[in-house]
């Protein structure tokens, strides 16, 4: 803060000179309403003196200057600009009388002395208000001046460097190529680089080698799989219905749609329109209708005695809340029971917005209707084949029947037996006909079936108030002219260039996945309760760049990953850590633990077991027995462990049951996907260590890696140790590291050479018999080494 | 107190390990933390979110054992005796009770169902109790029976979620998560929040009942089992013995220390610690879960079934865990959904069996905790998720007696840490349909439990999605029930 003030100090001198001609004190520096005042008022005062008129005390609202400076019912005035002593607000927050003191003790809030002082200064300075930062349109700020002009590589670096310099921080040196390729590969593809990719990059002497690497990774289909993971948390995608016994749901075709859309680099506006309202586009394609499954990921309740309407309402609300979260970064859900306490959304406006989503045909039914049939070539062929066989038999049958009838004979009929046989055959064939998988979709109700929307009092679906109609909240930008008053119109409204939030929220999300934290840390809340951006101008600049590129997501990613900011080393000195422990000012690259799916995918890749097969129904990699024994789930109690390559697919294809999430991923902070999750909170627990040490999935990966060591890693122990360290860490190992591996191998080799059965077990169960010619004690000892390396901090982290 | 700040407070590795090893533990560490808070020092590099923390006021209950009867037992058969109901047995239910009511299964005009079981006034307190819990009767003077509980959910999953997370929908944080978030835990070699399920079926609310919701996942409940692995993945891979594991973890530690020197990332140090903890957990967990280490007498007292999944085993485990410093132990028993559609869920045949499954273990648990001096620090709560109707369900003309779901009243009991024994709180009307006096809501129960743990439930919060999320929800209706507190 200090340095920011020093930057503007020359401007202040002029202002201050007018007010206090003799001395300039720190007190006179101008207070920034959005930075210094609104967060304090929002946290401590808005609940009773904010936008919600139903809970407003004393008629005072502190989110509206007009009211705050006007005379209240009591005759007093909360804020008298330039006169803190006459302001009721100040006398109440400084009062020593507990009955008068604000905020009241039982609210659990209290103002700090520094906050009180700032409020006084701000009133002294005329109490200027400003629009909440995120509700003002982003500006394409010119890059700020910096001292180290040779450092920036892209426009964004100027913004970052300016903040660094203001905090007297030095950017770190650029990371070496080893570190860069691993970082880039994990960020863009969720997989480590292969030894071959590493070799080619190290030997690529062209000046644009790094840019080419970025392009190659963005073009890899693994890119779509990695970034789909991010979107699927937001879309609360899961393979089960959630409530009650959490029955299974077939909706994987939507997951594939997301992967493909990302791989095709579908512009974010189209990506949005198709998911929210693909069915309302003129002559929607099959893919556009599949996209609408986005909002069919809501939970349904098939439990006995439940009211379908209650859960349909819950689903529609979830669609409203999720839409608000993903595109606006706002917690609209707060307004379903009462007016929003902090952001300008009234309860009525909530239900006006709700009305847009209240006209779809789905109704919490066990059938999931309406659904689309998903063509799967093998199944379609089989169906066609059976249909033609049935047609042939049917003809025969009819002919026989005709003959029999025309015979008109009373004697026993030899043909009737044949007819019976044929009929049976036809029935069997029909029975054996496989069904095409389905995907639930959004479908708008026809005119006369459209629902009436009413405000729900205190959020209760049974007690309704006034009827409302489709309308967007009044504090936001205009509804686009000529856009239809339905979901399609909402999609256009969200993607309108006048919308100050969508682009900011989107670029912040991408930034957060790369840097570990968003420029706005509270990715889910850009409202007044959310945190302020660390680099407001950078956020704006990126948002405008993204819009100007016509929402080209790969271009945005390329812009960020080619920046000098991104390419810094993640080494940190004690001093730098002291100054900026959270790395808010980005004077180094972040270093943080990989997310659940990447921990798995990387282990699969290093072990050589990874299957790169894409698409299709979700798969069942091994998990401990008995976990699916949830209540009431008669037929869905069995986890049918996949065989063949499906055992080794990427985590994005793992079957996701909401009430029993895949245990190792849940341990690594994967959410249950019951509701939209904007960011996963990273934790570091011993249970994670138990997963990567002992889960048979990771033991199998260690076995695979051990075989690679022996088959690909050279012949001597030292060669192999160097090879596997380099493979896993993606850097040149130190002698100390090699020695550590060599001595671990030797001690375990000795142990296992005397323990033949144990060695065989550790080296082959569950992966299967060892390849010909490999010594089993060697293999067991290398399995121990591999197991440890899959738990190495550098392997589990991205640096 | 702002717990988000607090939970960033740290303990250095040496302090942390030192305390674990010596077992001086709890108090010293807690007071050290308090000092740190007072001085405003943010501590060293290490964050241990499960380190002990000081609550708002001194706690009465340092440990919690929650016994949940999933499906919801019929209060009229166990605690809430209604002579009027017996008198009018099989007469039509008065119309006014049915107006505007929804039932999952009852259709048409149901008949009242008087309990077939005998009740007596028990103990010095004279608390009324059914003949179905003969052993439990002996401890009734230690127990506060609350007959005036009510909820607003009448399906299993939402009602269970409401009790444990404060919201009938998924996504909230479980009470045990709140407890470990607020208090940390005493024994770092064991999870702070353990869940034990008796077998049969899992509760309908599933894993979300012990999920950490919006709280960091380090606070989620860890399910422990008496069959198979006690904690998922706690056993070494087949073919790897403890010595191999120890040697390989030592090598890993040295490798990670090289990494730490190179990159200087405090997370690396945290990871080194977590692997040490994991190794100690691998030692401590099997030992804690091994019921054969108990005396024959204790085993018989609880009626355990070694090698099986059972409620009795879990009650004994709960005591072992609490004894070792686990903060919150949540038990789920199954099969209490007494609809009366057949003889596995009726009140004549099935209910006595269920009661027999819990009567001995619960009595043993209370006696055992007392004998070991743990009872006064350990809060025990027993409940279902809602009540059952005063009427016979008679689904599809069933001849078996049973009761449908009923949110308007049910009975729970509490005992131990901070609870006044021998109290009967609240009363229902003469047909046992609505609460007549001293209502206690689910939110009141939550506030009361949090109070006993040392928290003002109105102030214990976590910022998420624009709201300071609390166990008791966004409204201020929750009240601590001082009437049952010692």
What is residue B33's predicted lDDT score, i.e. its pLDDT? 36
* A-chain residues near B407 (CB < 8 A): none
Residue B31, domain member (yes or no): yes
Task: Indicate if B280 and B377 belong to the same structural domain.
Answer: no
Task: Indicate if B47 and B114 belong to the same structural domain.
Answer: no
Residue B378, domain member (yes or no): yes
In what helix (H) or strand (E) does residue B119 lie, and over which residues does it extend?
A: strand B119-122
* A-chain residues near B235 (CB < 8 A): 694
Task: Indicate if B349 and B434 belong to the same structural domain.
Answer: yes
Contact between A587 and A169 under an 8 Å Cβ cutoff? The reply is: yes
In whole angstroms, what is the distance from residue A113 CA to residue A110 CA? 10
Task: Indicate if B174 and B150 belong to the same structural domain.
Answer: yes
Contact between B402 and B366 under an 8 Å Cβ cutoff? The reply is: no
Residue B262, domain member (yes or no): yes
- Which DSSP category does A328 fall into? I
Q: Residue A496's closest CA among A509, A510, A482?
A: A482
What is residue A622's predicted lDDT score, i.e. its pLDDT? 95
Question: Tens digits of per-residue pLDDT, B202-242?
Answer: 788 877 899 888 887 778 888 888 777 888 899 999 999 99
**Does B341 lie at the interface with A, CB-CB under 8 angstroms?**
no
In whole angstroms, what is the distance from residue A584 CA to residue A164 CA? 9
Helix (H, G, I), strand (E, B) or coil at A373: strand
* A-chain residues near B264 (CB < 8 A): 571-574, 577
Residues 6+ apart with CB under 8 A from A593: A599, A682, A684, A796, A797, A798, B267
**Does B238 lie at the interface with A, CB-CB under 8 angstroms?**
yes
Which residue of B3, B244, B253, B337 is the best one to mutate when testing the A interface, meaning the one whose CB has the most A CBs within 10 A? B244
In whole angstroms, what is the distance from residue A425 CA to residue A395 CA? 13
> How crowded is the C-beta side of A632, counted as CA atoms within 13 Å?
20
Q: Are strands B328-333 and B193-197 parallel, antiparallel or unpaired?
A: parallel
Closest residue of chain A to B460, computed from CA coordinates: A108
CA distances from A339 to A132, A323, A327, A334, A465 (A): 18, 18, 20, 8, 14
What is residue A511's predicted lDDT score, i.e. its pLDDT? 98
What is residue A414's predicted lDDT score, i.e. its pLDDT? 65
Q: Does A379 have pLDDT greater than 80?
A: yes
Q: Tell me the pLDDT band of B24, cut-offs 50, 70 and 90.
A: very low
User: End-to-end CA distance of chain B, in Å?
Assistant: 26
User: End-to-end CA distance of chain A, in Å?
Assistant: 28
Across the interface, of A572, A675, A761, the residue whose CB is closest to B263 is A572
Tokens representing A694 are 């002992």
Per-residue DSSP letters for B306-339?
A: TTS--HHHHHHHHHHHHHTT-SEEEEEE------
Task: Indicate if B430 and B463 belong to the same structural domain.
Answer: yes
Paired strand residues for A371: A440
What is residue B395's predicted lDDT score, i.e. its pLDDT? 87
In what helix (H) or strand (E) does residue A503 lie, and over which residues does it extend?
A: helix A502-515
Residue B441, domain member (yes or no): yes
* A-chain residues near B345 (CB < 8 A): none
What is residue B83's predicted lDDT score, i.e. its pLDDT? 96
Mean pLDDT of B302-323: 92
Q: What percent of chain B has pLDDT over 70?
A: 90
Paired strand residues for B416: B379
Question: Tens digits of per-residue pLDDT, A93-119?
Answer: 998 888 888 998 877 788 888 899 999
Q: Residue A645's closest CA among A677, A676, A620?
A: A620
* B-chain residues near A108 (CB < 8 A): 456, 458-459, 461, 468
Question: Tens digits of per-residue pLDDT, B272-301?
Answer: 988 988 998 898 898 898 898 999 999 999
Q: What percent of chain A has pLDDT over 90?
A: 66
Among B54, B83, B98, the domain-final residue is: B54
What is residue A741's predicted lDDT score, i.e. its pLDDT? 97
Question: Tens digits of per-residue pLDDT, B61-99?
Answer: 999 999 999 999 999 999 999 999 999 999 999 988 888
Q: Tell me the pLDDT band of A63, cut-offs 50, 70 and 90.
A: confident
Q: Are strands A371-373 and B387-392 parallel, antiparallel or unpaired?
A: unpaired
Q: Do A797 and B247 touch (CB under 8 A)?
A: no
- For residue B32, what are the domain limits? 1-54
Query: In angstroms, what is the C-alpha Rg of chain B?
Result: 24
Question: Tens digits of per-residue pLDDT, B39-57?
Answer: 333 333 346 778 888 899 9
Cβ count near A478 (within 10 Å): 10
In whole angstroms, what is the distance from residue A596 CA to residue A656 CA? 13
Across the interface, of A106, A331, A759, the residue whose CB is closest to B466 is A331
Q: Does A331 have pLDDT greater than 90?
A: no
In whole angstroms, what is the distance from residue A217 CA to residue A225 CA? 12
What is residue B5's predicted lDDT score, i.e. its pLDDT? 36
In whole angstroms, what is the distance from residue A530 CA to residue B465 CA? 8
Q: Tell me the pLDDT band of A726, cut-offs 50, 70 and 90.
A: very high
Residue reference for tokens 């001046």 = A145
Tokens representing A564 are 């000098």
Q: Which of A394-403, A713-722, B312-321 is predicted with the least confidence, judged by mean pLDDT?
A: A394-403
Tokens representing B191 are 């999870």
Across the interface, of A306, A632, A780, the residue whose CB is closest to B239 is A780
Q: Does A405 have pLDDT greater than 80?
A: no
Q: Are strands B328-333 and B63-69 parallel, antiparallel or unpaired?
A: parallel
Task: Indicate if B284 and B393 belong to the same structural domain.
Answer: no
Residues in chain A: 799
Q: Which of A358-362, A401-405, B301-305 is predicted with the least confidence, judged by mean pLDDT?
A: A401-405
Tokens representing B113 are 């169902």
In whole angstroms, what is the distance from residue B345 CA to residue B355 CA? 12
What sign for the dihedral angle of Cα A327, A329, A330, A336? positive
Among B253, B268, B288, the domain-final residue is: B288
Among B54, B78, B98, the domain-final residue is: B54
What sign for the dihedral angle of Cα A653, A655, A660, A662? negative
Contact between A302 and A366 under an 8 Å Cβ cutoff? The reply is: yes
Q: Tell me the pLDDT band of A340, cut-offs 50, 70 and 90.
A: confident
Across the interface, of A244, A306, A525, the residue whose CB is closest to B466 is A525
Task: Indicate if B420 and B469 belong to the same structural domain.
Answer: yes
Q: Where are the alpha helices (DSSP H) in B189-346?
A: 242-263, 266-288, 296-302, 311-323
What sign for the dihedral angle of Cα A190, A196, A202, A204? negative
What is residue A407's predicted lDDT score, i.e. its pLDDT? 63
* B-chain residues near A788 (CB < 8 A): 248-249, 251-252, 255
Task: Indicate if B255 and B306 belong to the same structural domain.
Answer: no
In whole angstroms, what is the distance from residue B112 CA to residue B130 CA? 19
Q: What is the 3-state secondary structure (H, E, C) of A294-306?
A: HHHCCCECCCCCC
Task: Indicate if B187 and B216 belong to the same structural domain.
Answer: yes
Q: Do B256 and A306 touch (CB under 8 A)?
A: no
Task: Indicate if B12 and B34 belong to the same structural domain.
Answer: yes
Q: What percent of chain A has pLDDT over 70?
A: 94
Q: Do B241 and A658 touch (CB under 8 A)?
A: no
Min Cα separation B136/chain A (Å): 28
Mean pLDDT of A601-630: 92
In whole angstroms, what is the distance from residue B361 CA to residue B322 CA? 16
Closest residue of chain A to B269, computed from CA coordinates: A793
Q: Tell me the pLDDT band of A13, cut-offs 50, 70 and 90.
A: very low
Min Cα separation B35/chain A (Å): 21
Q: Residue B428's closest CA among B234, B18, B149, B162?
A: B149
Indicate the average pLDDT of chain A.
Answer: 90
Q: What are phi and psi of B66, to 5 degrees?
A: -105, 120
Indicate the average pLDDT of chain B.
Answer: 87
Q: How many domains does chain B have?
A: 3
Task: Indicate if B108 and B223 belong to the same structural domain.
Answer: yes
Q: Do A688 and B103 touch (CB under 8 A)?
A: no
Cβ count near B456 (within 10 Å): 16
Q: Does B148 have pLDDT greater than 90?
A: yes
CA distances from B180 to A686, A737, A766, B64 (A): 16, 38, 37, 11
Q: 253-292 in B: which are within 8 Å (CB) of A? A: 254-256, 258-260, 262-268, 270-272, 274-275, 277-278, 281-282
Q: Do A681 and B217 touch (CB under 8 A)?
A: yes
Residue reference for tokens 């420029």 = A519
Residues 6+ apart with CB under 8 A from A470: A352, A355, A356, A485, A486
Q: Do A663 and B232 touch (CB under 8 A)?
A: yes
CATH code for the domain in which residue B171 is found: 3.40.720.10
Q: Tell me the pLDDT band of A566, cut-offs 50, 70 and 90.
A: very high
Q: Which of A539-553, A621-635, A778-792 is predicted with the least confidence, judged by mean pLDDT?
A: A621-635
Helix (H, G, I), strand (E, B) or coil at A469: coil
**Chain centre distance of CA A423:** 54
Task: Indicate if B115 and B167 belong to the same structural domain.
Answer: yes
- Which DSSP category does B485 fall into? B
Paired strand residues for B391: B112
Residue B470, domain member (yes or no): yes
Contact between B328 and B177 under an 8 Å Cβ cutoff? The reply is: no
In what helix (H) or strand (E) does residue B222 lie, and over which residues does it extend?
A: strand B222-224
> How crowded is the C-beta side of A418, counted as CA atoms within 13 Å?
14
Residue B294, domain member (yes or no): no
Across the interface, of A694, A785, A793, the residue whose CB is closest to B235 is A694
> How crowded is the C-beta side of B85, counted as CA atoms within 13 Å?
23
Q: Does B31 have pLDDT greater than 80?
A: no
- Which DSSP category does A321 fall into? H
- Rounded to 10 deg, the angle between the B175-183 and B156-165 helix axes is 10
- Which DSSP category does A34 fall into? I
Residue B293, domain member (yes or no): no
Helix (H, G, I), strand (E, B) or coil at B283: helix
Q: Do B256 and A660 touch (CB under 8 A)?
A: no
Q: Residue A215's closest CA among A648, A615, A558?
A: A558
Mean pLDDT of A761-772: 94
Residue B222, domain member (yes or no): yes
């Amino acid at each position: 803060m200090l340095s920011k003030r020093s930057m503007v100090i020359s401007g202040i001198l002029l202002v201050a000179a007018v007010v206090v001609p003799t001395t300039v004190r720190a007190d006179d520096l101008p207070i920034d309403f959005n930075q210094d005042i609104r967060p304090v008022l929002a946290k401590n005062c808005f609940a009773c003196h904010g936008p919600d008129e139903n809970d407003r005390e004393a008629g005072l609202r502190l989110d509206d200057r007009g009211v705050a400076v006007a005379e209240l019912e009591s005759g007093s005035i909360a804020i008298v600009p330039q006169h803190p002593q006459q302001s009721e607000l100040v006398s109440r927050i400084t009062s020593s009388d507990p009955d008068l003191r604000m905020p009241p003790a039982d609210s659990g809030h209290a103002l700090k002395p520094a906050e009180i002082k700032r409020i006084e200064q701000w009133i002294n300075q005329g109490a200027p208000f400003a629009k909440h930062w995120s509700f003002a349109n982003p500006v394409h700020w010119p890059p700020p001046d910096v001292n180290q002009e040779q450092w920036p590589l892209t426009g964004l670096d100027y913004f970052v460097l300016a903040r660094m310099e203001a905090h007297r921080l030095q950017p770190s040196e650029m990371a070496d190529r080893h570190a860069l390729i691993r970082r880039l590969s994990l960020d863009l593809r969720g997989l480590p680089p292969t030894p071959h990719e590493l070799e080619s990059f190290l030997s690529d002497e062209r000046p644009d080698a790094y840019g080419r690497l970025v392009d190659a990774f963005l073009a890899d289909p693994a890119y779509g799989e990695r970034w789909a993971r991010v979107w699927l948390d937001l879309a609360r995608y899961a393979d089960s219905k959630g409530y009650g016994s959490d029955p299974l749901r077939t909706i994987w075709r939507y997951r594939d749609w997301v992967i493909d859309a990302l791989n095709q680099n579908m512009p974010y506006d189209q990506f949005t329109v198709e998911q929210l309202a693909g069915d309302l586009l003129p002559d929607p394609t099959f893919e556009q209708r599949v996209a609408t499954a986005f909002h069919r990921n809501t939970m349904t309740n098939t439990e006995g005695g439940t009211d379908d309407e209650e859960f349909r309402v819950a689903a529609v609300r979830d669609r409203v809340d999720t839409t608000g979260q993903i595109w606006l970064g706002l917690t609209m859900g707060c307004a379903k029971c009462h007016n929003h306490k902090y952001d300008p959304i009234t309860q009525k406006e909530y239900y006006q917005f709700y009305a847009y989503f209240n006209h779809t045909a789905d109704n919490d039914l066990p059938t999931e209707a309406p659904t689309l049939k998903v063509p799967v070539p093998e199944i379609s062929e089989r169906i066609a084949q059976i249909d033609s066989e049935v047609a042939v038999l049917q003809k025969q049958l009819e002919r026989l029947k005709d003959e029999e009838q025309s015979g008109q004979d009373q004697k026993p009929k030899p043909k009737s037996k044949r007819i019976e046989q044929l009929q049976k055959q036809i029935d069997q064939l029909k029975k054996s006909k496989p069904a095409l998988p389905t995907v639930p979709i959004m479908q708008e109700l026809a005119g006369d079936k459209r629902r009436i929307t009413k405000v729900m009092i205190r959020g209760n679906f049974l007690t309704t108030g006034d009827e409302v109609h489709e309308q967007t909240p009044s504090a936001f930008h205009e509804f686009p002219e000529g856009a239809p008053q339905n979901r399609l119109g909402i999609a256009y409204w969200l993607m309108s260039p006048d919308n100050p939030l969508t682009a900011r929220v989107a670029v912040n999300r991408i930034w957060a996945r790369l840097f570990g934290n968003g420029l706005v840390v509270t990715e889910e809340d850009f409202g007044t309760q959310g945190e302020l951006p660390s680099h407001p101008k950078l956020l704006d600049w990126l948002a405008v760049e993204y819009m100007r590129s016509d929402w080209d997501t790969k271009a945005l990613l390329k812009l960020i990953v080619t920046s000098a900011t991104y390419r810094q080393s993640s080494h940190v000195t004690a001093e730098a850590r002291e100054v900026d422990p959270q790395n808010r000012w980005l004077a180094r690259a972040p270093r943080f633990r990989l997310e659940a799916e990447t921990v798995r995918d990387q282990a699969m890749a290093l072990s050589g077991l990874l299957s790169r097969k894409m698409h299709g129904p979700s798969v069942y990699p091994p998990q401990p027995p008995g976990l699916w024994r949830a209540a009431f789930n008669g037929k869905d109690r069995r986890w049918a462990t996949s065989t063949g390559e499906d055992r080794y697919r990427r985590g994005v294809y793992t079957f996701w049951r909401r009430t029993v999430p895949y245990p190792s991923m849940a341990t690594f902070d994967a959410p249950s996907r019951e509701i939209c999750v904007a960011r996963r909170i990273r934790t570091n627990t011993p249970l994670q260590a138990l997963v990567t040490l002992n889960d048979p999935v990771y033991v199998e990966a260690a076995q695979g890696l051990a075989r690679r060591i022996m088959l690909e890693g050279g012949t001597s122990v030292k060669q192999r140790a160097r090879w596997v360290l380099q493979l896993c860490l993606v850097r040149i190992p130190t002698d100390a590291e090699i020695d550590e591996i060599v001595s671990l191998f030797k001690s375990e080799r000795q142990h296992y050479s005397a323990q033949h059965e144990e060695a065989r077990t550790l080296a082959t169960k569950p992966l299967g018999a060892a390849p010909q010619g490999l010594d089993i004690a060697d293999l067991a000892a290398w399995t121990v080494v591999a197991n440890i390396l899959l738990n190495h901090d550098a392997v589990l982290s991205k640096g | 107190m702002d717990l988000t700040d607090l939970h960033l407070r740290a303990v250095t590795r040496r302090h942390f390990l030192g305390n674990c090893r010596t077992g001086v533990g709890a108090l010293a560490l807690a007071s050290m933390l308090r000092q740190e808070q007072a001085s405003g020092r943010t501590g060293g590099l290490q964050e241990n979110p499960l380190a002990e923390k000081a609550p708002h006021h001194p706690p009465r209950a340092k440990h919690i054992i929650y016994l949940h009867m999933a499906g919801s037992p019929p209060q009229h058969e166990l605690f809430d005796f209604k002579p009027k109901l017996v008198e009018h047995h099989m007469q039509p239910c008065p119309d006014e009770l049915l107006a505007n009511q929804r039932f999952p299964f009852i259709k048409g005009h149901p008949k009242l169902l008087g309990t077939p079981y005998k009740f007596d006034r028990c103990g010095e307190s004279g608390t009324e109790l059914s003949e179905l819990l003969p052993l439990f009767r002996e401890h009734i003077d230690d127990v506060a029976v609350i007959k005036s509980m009510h909820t607003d959910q009448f399906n299993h999953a939402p009602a269970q979620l409401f009790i444990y997370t404060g919201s009938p929908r998924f996504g909230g944080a479980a009470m045990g998560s709140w407890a470990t978030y607020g208090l940390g835990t005493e024994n770092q070699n064991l999870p702070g929040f353990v869940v034990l399920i008796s077998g049969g079926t899992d509760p309908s609310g599933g894993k979300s009942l012990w999920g950490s919701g919006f709280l960091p996942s380090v606070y989620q409940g860890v399910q422990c089992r008496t069959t198979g692995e006690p904690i998922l993945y706690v056993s070494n891979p087949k073919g790897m013995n403890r010595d191999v594991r120890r040697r390989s973890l030592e090598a890993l530690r040295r490798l990670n220390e090289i990494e730490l020197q190179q990159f200087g990332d405090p997370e690396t140090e945290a990871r080194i610690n977590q692997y040490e903890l994991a190794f100690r957990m691998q030692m401590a967990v099997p030992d804690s879960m091994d019921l054969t280490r108990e005396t024959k007498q204790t085993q018989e007292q609880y009626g355990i079934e070694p090698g099986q999944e059972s409620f009795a085993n879990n009650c004994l485990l709960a005591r072992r865990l609490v004894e070792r410093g686990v903060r919150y132990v949540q038990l789920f028993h199954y099969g209490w959904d007494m609809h009366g559609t057949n003889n596995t869920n009726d009140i004549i045949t099935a209910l006595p069996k269920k009661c027999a499954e819990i009567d001995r273990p619960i009595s043993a648990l209370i006696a055992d905790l007392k004998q070991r001096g743990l009872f006064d620090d350990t809060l025990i709560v027993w409940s279902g998720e809602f009540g059952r109707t005063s009427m016979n369900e008679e689904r599809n003309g069933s001849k078996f007696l049973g009761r449908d779901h009923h949110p308007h009243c049910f009975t729970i009991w509490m005992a131990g840490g901070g609870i006044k024994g021998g109290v009967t709180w609240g009363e229902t009307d003469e047909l046992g349909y609505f609460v007549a006096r001293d209502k206690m809501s689910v939110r009141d129960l939550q506030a009361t439990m949090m109070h006993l743990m040392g928290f003002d439930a109105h102030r214990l919060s976590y910022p998420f999605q624009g709201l300071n999320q609390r166990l008791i929800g966004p409204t201020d209706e929750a009240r601590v029930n001082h009437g049952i507190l010692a």
